[in-house]
Amino acid sequence: MRYTYTQSLQTICCLLLLTASITVAGEAADTGRKTAAGRTQLVLLGTGNPQPDPDRSGPSMAVVVNGTAYLVDFGPGVVRRAAAAFRDKGVQSMDPMAIRIAFLTHLHSDHTAGYPDLILTPWVMGRRDPLRVYGPKGTRSMTDHVLAAYAEDIRIRTEGMERIPPESLQVQVQEIRAGLVYRDENVRVTAFPTKHGDWKESYGYRFDTADRSIVITGDTTPTQATIDACNGCDILVHEAMTEKFLARPGRPNPQRFDIKAYAAKYHTTTTQLAALASKAKPGLLVLVHNPITLKPVASRPLASTPQDLLDEIQAAGYNGKVVVGRDLDIY
C-alpha cells in the first residue's frame, strides 16, 4: 500500500500518540532471540561524559540476559558501540536491530544525545519491533520531539523507494516512578531516586536476574538510596570525580562557574564513593563517567588517569574490588 503525504502525516501523528500510551509496567515482554541460558552480563558501551573523548563514547551500557539486552542510557555513539559489541565482542543481543528495551536515568544531553540514533538507525536498517523506553518525566516529550524533528526523513523513508513500515517506528514510552518498573522472565528492574542537582527527577536502576544483581546509578551525588539499592549487590556501577580533577588549577571552564560547588550538587567524588561503597558492599564496583583521560598527553599533565581514580578510592579507605570501566568491557 502506498502512503500519501497526508497519510504519512497521520501516521506520524499516530506515532506521537502512541508514545503517549502507557504500557503496563511489569508486563512480560517478548524477549526475542534466545541464546543458551548463561550468565548475566554487563556490557559497557560508553563510559564517557560530556567531554567528546574519542576513546570513551557517551554514557550507555546494557544488562544482557538470555540473549536479550536491557539498555541503560543512550549517549552519543550508542548505536555504533552496540554494533561493536555485536560484531567485535560477539554479544548477539547487542545487534542494534535487536535492542528493544531501554531505561533512562535522566534527560541530560550526554545521556540522551544518541536517542534519535537509537530510534531511527535500527528502524532504517530493519528493526521491526517497537522500542520500549522507561524514563523520568519528560521522556515522552523528548521522544515526541525527536520524531517530530525527523518527520520529513520519516516521510521520505516510508513513502519513498525504501517503503520502510512506519508501524515499527513506534516508541512505547513509560514515564516511571521509583519502585518495580519492569519485569519479564529474565529480569526484574527496580528504579530508585538519585540526586542530580537541579533535575527534579533522576533514577538509578537495580537489575535482578536468576544469577546476578546489578545496580546502575547514572549521575548522582552519594545517597542512602543507592546504598540500600545495592546492599551487597554483585555489581555497582557508579560515577566518581577525582579530587585531583577538582583541585587542579586552570581547568577549562569558560563559564567560570564554581566547579567544586557544582560537583557537590551534581556528582560524587572518589572520597565520597569510597565511603558509600564501603556501606553498599558490592561484589564489584565499576567506575564510569569519570573526568579522566585514557591517553595522557603532554599538553594535559594534570589530567586524571584511571590509576588516579583507583589510588584515590583506595586511599580513602575502600577495600573492595574496584575497576575503571572502559568502552566495550564486559563484566
Interface residue with Zn ion, options 95, 110, 117, 329 (CB under 5 A): 110
* Sole window of 23-31, 87-95, 142-150, 217-225 interacting with Zn ion (rule: CB under 5 A): 217-225
Catalytic residue among 53, 73, 95, 110: 110
Q: How far is CA 237 from the centre of its chain?
A: 11
Contact of 215 with 60, CB cutoff 8 Å: no
Show contacts with Zn ion in window 82-101 (CB under 5 A).
none
Q: Give the interface segment with Zn ion, choosing from 89-97, 106-114, 120-128, 321-329 (CB under 5 A).
A: 106-114
Q: Hey, what's the torsion of the CAs at 135, 126, 185, 112, to 10 degrees?
A: -20
By CB under 5 A, which span of 142-150, 212-220, 257-265, 271-279 interacts with Zn ion?
A: 212-220
Q: With CB under 5 A, what is the number of residues at the site for Zn ion?
A: 3
Question: Is residue 208 at the binding interface for Zn ion, with CB under 5 A as the rule?
Answer: no
Question: Which is nearer to Zn ion, 183 or 195 (by Cβ)?
Answer: 195
- Kindly tell me the burial class for residue 168, based on how many C-beta atoms sit within 10 Å of its own C-beta (0-12, 13-18, 19 or more): middle
CA-nearest of 171, 135, 150 to 20 is 171
Q: Maximum distance among all alpha carbons in the chain?
A: 66
Cell output for 155:
516521510
Q: Of the candidates 219, 243, 308, 312, which one interacts with Zn ion according to CB under 5 A?
A: 219
The 131-135 sheet, strands edge to edge: 41-46, 60-65, 68-72, 101-103, 131-135, 171-175
User: Scanning residues 135 to 164, which ones bind Zn ion (CB under 5 A)?
Assistant: none
- Does 73 bind Zn ion (CB under 5 A)? Our answer is no
Q: Is 102 within 8 Å of 71 (Cβ atoms)? A: yes
> Residue 13 CB, nearest distance to Zn ion (Å)?
32
* Cα–Cα distance measured from residue 62 to residue 181, given in angstroms and rounded to the nearest whole number: 16
Q: Is 108 in the site for Zn ion (CB under 5 A)?
A: yes
Min dist. Cβ of residue 219 to Zn ion (A): 3
Return d(Cα 118, Cα 82) in angstroms, integer: 10
201 near Zn ion, rule: CB under 5 A? no
| Least Å from the CB of residue 12 to Zn ion | 30
Between residues 100 and 196, which has the closer beta carbon with respect to Zn ion? 196
| Grid cell in block for residue 255 | 563559564
Residue 158 has phi, psi (to 5 degrees) of: -90, -35
Pick the closer one to Zn ion by CB: 18 or 324.
324
CB of 103 to Zn ion, least distance (A): 15
- Look up cell 517478548; give the residue: 30
| Shortest distance, position 102 Cβ to Zn ion, whole Å | 16
Q: How far is the CB of 75 from Zn ion (least distance, A)?
A: 8
Least Å distance, CB 49 to Zn ion, is: 5
Contact 105, 217 (CB under 8 A): yes
Check if 110 is active-site: yes
Stretch that binds Zn ion, among 104-112, 122-130, 250-258, 275-283 (CB under 5 A): 104-112
Q: 56 vs 127, which CB is nearer to Zn ion?
A: 56
Is residue 300 classed as helix, strand or coil in its secondary structure?
coil
Q: Is 15 exposed, middle or buried (0-12, 13-18, 19+ CB in 10 A)?
A: buried
Q: Provide the binding-site residues for Zn ion, judged by CB under 5 A.
A: 108, 110, 219
Catalytic residue set:
110
